[in-house]
C-alpha cells in the first residue's frame, strides 16, 4: 500500500513541476525519456539539455528496475 502512495506522490509532484515550469517564461524547453518495452529501451529527447535529461531518465529507469526486482524477490520468499 505504501508503494501506491509513493507512486501517487511522485506523479503529483511531477505534474506540479511541469505546471510551474510551463508558467515561467523559459525560452528553451528540453525533454528526454526512456521507455522500456520488454528488454528493449527506446530513448528520445529534444532541446539543448536533452542529453543530460536522457541520462537522468536512464539512471532512474535502471534504479526502478533494480528496485522492483528486489521488491518482487523479497515478496516471493
Each residue's pLDDT tens digit, 17-29 = 887 877 776 666 6
Q: Which residue did the predictor score with more confidence, 16 or 73? A: 16
Judged against a pLDDT cut of 80, whether residue 62 lies above it is answered with yes
Q: Given this model, what pLDDT does residue 58 score?
A: 81
DSSP H helical ranges for the chain: 2-23, 50-76
Can you name the residues that pair with 54 across neighbouring β-strands?
Answer: none
Instruction: Give residue 10's pLDDT.
Output: 92
**Phi and psi torsions of 17, nearest 5°:** -65, -40
Amino acid at each position: 500500500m505504501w508503494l501506491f502512495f509513493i507512486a501517487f506522490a511522485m506523479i503529483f509532484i511531477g505534474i506540479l513541476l511541469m505546471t510551474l515550469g510551463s508558467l515561467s517564461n523559459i525560452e528553451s524547453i528540453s525533454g528526454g525519456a526512456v521507455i522500456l518495452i520488454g528488454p528493449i529501451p527506446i530513448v528520445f529527447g529534444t532541446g539543448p539539455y536533452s542529453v543530460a535529461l536522457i541520462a537522468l531518465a536512464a539512471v532512474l529507469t535502471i534504479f526502478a528496475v533494480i528496485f522492483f526486482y528486489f521488491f518482487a524477490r523479497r515478496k516471493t520468499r
